[in-house]
Chain A
Amino acid sequence: MTTFMTAADKAAASDNTWNFTVPLTAAFGAVLGLLGGQAAGLGVWAGLIAGAVIGAALAYALSVHLPKKIGRWAAIAVCAVLGLILGGLAGVLAGAIMGALLGWCAYWLSTGAYRSGVPPYATTGQVLWHNAFKFICGFIFFFLIAPIITIIPLSFNAQDFFTFTPEMLALDPAGYSLKHYNDFFTNPDWLRPMKNSLIIAPFATIISVSLGTLAAIGLSQSHVPFRRGIMAILISPMIVPLIISATGMFFFYSQMGLWMEDNLGISKSLSGYIKVILAHAALGIPFVIITVTATLVGFDNSLTRAAANMGATPVTTFFKVQMPLILPGVISGGLFAFITSFDEVVVVLFVGAAAQKTLPWQMFTGLREQISPTILAVATVLVAISIVLLTVVEMLRRRSERLRGMSPS
């Protein structure tokens, strides 16, 4: 089809170029030109018109005369040079991005790639809606991810500002520094909370996982009286608003702390940790119950019967047969419990004393009172941690599905 082009086809293609690709790319170029022109200080109209002209020229030149790969690089190069003239080093980057967008837009329109997602018989309106829908979804994904991405470069700010400084925008290395990270890893105001978080979260996780797994196994048996009611009670720490849990626990644990200090001779600091750990364990339990019960749904009970038949004791059966199969669920439940405790601030704010200050607590005070850019460095570190945890949980989930044969892959 592409090898043999009749005169009529060529006329249609040329028509298509002039009626469709060029005007739309020009419009897109105008929008980009408006942004670029504002940034470079050209004014509204100059940017708008320059962008439209560049867009139209590129659309015509690329779609008619150049193959896709070369054309895209050419567009990037042209716009980068324009950027260099207008805005120096940062201009090159901005120009290159705009060039890439324009080049992509020209080919997307001229080759008909924009129709690839809809059946060939779709009307213009349907194609328009389909692509508009994709763009809307793109914006929503952008909304979801942009705030988290934005803080990462900001955490390398050399100034104590919460916005991009001109040096940063000019990609000047002097605008970036690791000083906020340095502060985070040397300042006792941040190190002690970090240590506390790393003490409290693992212990809370161990309690929730051990008790939660046992209970989930109990709940998944075929005959459990009052299953619904028990489930409702066990899930309740997740449903009851944190502020209410925190209020209740505030009264309860202050009495319990006094009791522990008076009757068990526990030091004030240790009893403080015990209180926070128990409170966090209760909050983490629903996550363990939910994930482990979900893993047990596909569990084949004849396996345990087979093990018992071959003479294994219930304990051996549990550790050798059941545990390996439900381990992915247990670990991801544990990770959920860990992140719950590691992230939690309302309860620890009410139950803990200053000696048990955790990382989120320190961040909360920082945000509320003296906001310091070190928070952004901490936030970036926490984002890195959550990416690791997310990866682990996803891998475990897939492994567990494969083990149970629920996924075709």
Chain B
Amino acid sequence: MTDAAGPVLAADGTPLKKSLNRALRRQKMRALMLIAPLLLFILITFIWPIAQMLLRSVENQIVSDVLPRTVVAVVEWDASTEEAPGDPVFEALAQDMMVAVEQKQHTRLGSRLNYETTGVSSLFRKSGRAVDEMGELAMDQFVALDEGFEAPANWAVNLGTADWNAALTDWVNNGEEGNAPRFAADPGAAEALPQTTRLYGDFANFVASDGDNPLDEDIWPILFHTLAQELPSADLSSVAGTGLPLVAAQGPVAGFETEDIKAAFIDIDEDWASVEVWQTIQTYSPDFTNGYFLNSIDMQKSPDGAEWRPEDQQIYLTLFWRTMLMSFVITCSCILLGYPVAWLLANLPASKANLLMILVLLPFWTSLLVRTSAWKVLLQQQGVINELLVWIGLVGDENRLALINNATGTIIAMTHILLPFMILPLYSVMKTIPPSYLRAAKSLGATNWTAFWRVYFPQSVPGIGAGSILVFILSIGYYITPEIVGGTKGVFISNRIAYHISSSLNWGLAAALGSILLAIVLIFYWMYDKIVGIDNVKLGG
């Protein structure tokens, strides 16, 4: 009756296909809406912090932030000349150091560069104490020439814009509420005296951020020195402000006696003449570095690219290797101990198996700290196991076994702690293997061993795979147990990461080590997903 060629219609007259699609879309949206809050929560509080950590492992802005001028000036320097850089670099360094010292950033930078070359930290601290005297020679001559150079207000009028000066006056008149306005450089002054204007800007902004008035604070001596360098050759026609007697001074300044900044630095500490220090600064100037990653595989940056560290400084590859090796040993011992138990549990009648299961689940539910402290108590030199062995006479009193604070302690304790993670997946796989297969194999003439090895074992391999990867992933990231029972020979890479976070404060290196560990774990996670499937993770029975 109706046209049979037309589309099938739903009750409301829309084509059925469209209507179904819409229902499906609505269903999808609803599912996503339910998931969204949690997904957002995990993304913000978990995934984002980890991404941030990964970024931190390559981040290196601190050098260019603290020494902006030096970093630019030192680019041209060629390390192969075996000589420290020339005067311009030291001039830039003096200006940067003055700002950094006032902001108390130079010690931070010193510790950062100290990770790469030892001694830099003390070099920066020492120079920081002396740098505010640099330029005093120029300052004295300027003041002798004209008292006007000593007044901070004159500098402000000359180098800042009229708007900034007005805002500053308003701020002063309003009782100095909050911080002084940020410096705005007068374009003319910036063109004629670029370095002086920039340094004065740093001065004014620093004073303002400290809550003080730029018109009251004494001008840094190094500013006079910079001005003395720039003024003689400057074209002053573009400078509009009339605070400092610049034009009048231009002639006399050319005849000023100037300080040798390079010599002054080398005088503070002769390390400033060392090529190595400058190489470090030059190598770590870029905003991003692979230095932390090279460090975490026992390499270092050098002018010729990456190279191995000296033998006696190599620790991380050993540590990674040890972490992998010990995790492997722990995984193997878990298979060895877990397989018989899982087999027994899977083949006993349900009532008995449930009873024995409690013996597996109780350690699983017991606090990690409890189990670790139990092992600490048991394994000590004066602990229960050693006392027992001495008591029954298996071990002499003087040669008690060293079971703790070494790799043995870590392996014993961690095997115990991770064993349930092996037994539970193995058990759930073995539960699904029909016992009739074994009987069939035996009735066909197989010996016990053949029946087990050729029929049962291959079917239990997925369980072994799942358990092993789980145990391996868990064990390579372990921190608490190795820290307590591992001593120095039984610690993992995680203990080193924790050390760099909380003791040495070398966070970049900690982040790089963490990123490598994460990459290893993710590879195994991916394998786990392929073999077992993430949706099939089960907890307890």
Measuring CB to CB, which residues of chain A are less than 8 angstroms from any residue of chain B? 34-35, 38-39, 44, 126, 129, 133-134, 136-137, 140-141, 143-145, 147-148, 150-151, 154, 161-164, 207, 211-212, 214-215, 217-219, 221-225, 228, 230-237, 239-253, 278-279, 281-282, 285, 287, 290-291, 293-294, 336, 339, 342-343, 345-346, 350, 360, 363-364, 367-368, 371, 375-376, 379, 382-383, 386-387, 389-390, 393-394, 397
Docked-complex contact B34 and A215, CB < 8 angstroms = yes
Q: How far is the CB of B87 from chain A (nearest CB, A)?
A: 40
Q: Which residues of A contact B369 (CB under 8 A)?
A: 343, 345, 360, 363-364, 367, 379, 382
Given the interface contacts A34-B392, A243-B477, A244-B53, does A230 sit within 8 Å of B35 by beta carbon?
A: yes
Residue of B nearest to A371 (CB): B376
Contact A240 B518 (CB under 8 A): yes
Which residue on chain A has the smallest CB distance to residue B449?
A: A129
Please give the number of chain B residues whose Cβ is less than 8 angstroms from any Cβ of chain A in the complex. Answer: 93
A35 — which chain B residues lie within 8 A by C-beta? 392
Verify if B541 is at the interface (C-beta below 8 Å from A): yes
A-B contact pairs, 28 of them (CB 8 A): A44-B393, A136-B340, A137-B341, A143-B419, A147-B371, A147-B378, A148-B366, A162-B380, A163-B377, A163-B384, A211-B38, A212-B38, A214-B38, A240-B518, A243-B477, A244-B50, A244-B497, A244-B514, A252-B48, A279-B45, A345-B369, A346-B480, A360-B369, A364-B369, A379-B373, A386-B365, A386-B367, A390-B365
Given A133-B344, A217-B34, A224-B35, 17 extra CB contacts under 8 A? A151-B373, A221-B30, A224-B28, A224-B31, A235-B534, A240-B50, A242-B477, A242-B479, A243-B514, A249-B49, A251-B53, A252-B52, A294-B538, A342-B367, A376-B373, A386-B366, A393-B365
Contacts of B56 in A (CB 8 A): 251
Q: B371 to chain A: which residues have CB within 8 Å?
A: 147-148
Q: Are A382 and B367 in contact (CB under 8 A)?
A: yes
**Which B residues between 426 and 452 are near A, CB-CB below 8 angstroms?**
448
CB distance from A69 to the nearest CB of B (A): 23
CB distance A154 to B340 under 8 Å?
Answer: no
Tell me the smallest distance from the CB of B19 to a CB of chain A, in Å.
16
Closest 4 CB pairs of A and B: A241-B477, A218-B34, A252-B49, A248-B49
Within the complex, the shortest CB–CB distance from A256 to chain B, in Å, comes to 9
Which residue of the partner chain, among B45, B53, B361, B362, contacts A278 with CB atoms under 8 Å?
A: B45
- Name A's interface SS: helix
User: Whole-angstrom distance from the CB of A106 to the nearest CB of chain B?
Assistant: 23
Contact of A141 among B24, B359, B502 (CB under 8 A): B359
Docked Cα-Cα span, A390 to B361, in Å, equals 7
Q: Is the pair B365, A223 in contact by a Cβ cutoff of 8 Å? A: no
**Are A234 and B28 interface neighbours, CB within 8 A?**
no
Contacts of B306 on A, CB cut-off 8 Å? none
Complex interface: chain A residues within 8 A of B337 (CB): 140, 143
B374 within 8 A of A: yes
* Bound CA span A215–B373, Å: 37
Cβ-defined contact, B484 with A367, below 8 A: yes
Residue contact B539 to A287, C-beta cutoff 8 Å: yes
B47 at interface, CB cutoff 8 A? yes
Contact A363/B373 with A282-B45, A390-B361 known, Cβ cut-off 8 Å: yes
Contacts of A247 in B (CB 8 A): 53, 497, 501, 510-511, 514
Contact B39 A241 (CB under 8 A): no
User: With a CB–CB cut-off of 8 A, which chain A residues contact B362?
Assistant: 145, 148, 386-387, 390
Question: Quick one: which of B37, B502, B539 contacts A291, CB cutoff 8 A?
Answer: B539
The reply to whether B340 and A133 contact each other, CB–CB distance below 8 Å, is yes
Pairwise interchain contact A232-B365, C-beta atoms closer than 8 A? no
In the complex, what distance in Å separates the CA atom of A34 from the CA atom of B511? 56
Kindly state the separation between the CA atoms of A312 and B27 in the bound complex, as whole angstroms: 18
B130 beta carbon closer than 8 Å to chain A: no
Instruction: Tell whether B476 is near chain A: CB-to-CB under 8 Å.
Output: yes
**Residue in A147, A214, A240, A245 whose beta carbon sits within 8 Å of that of B37 in the complex:** A214
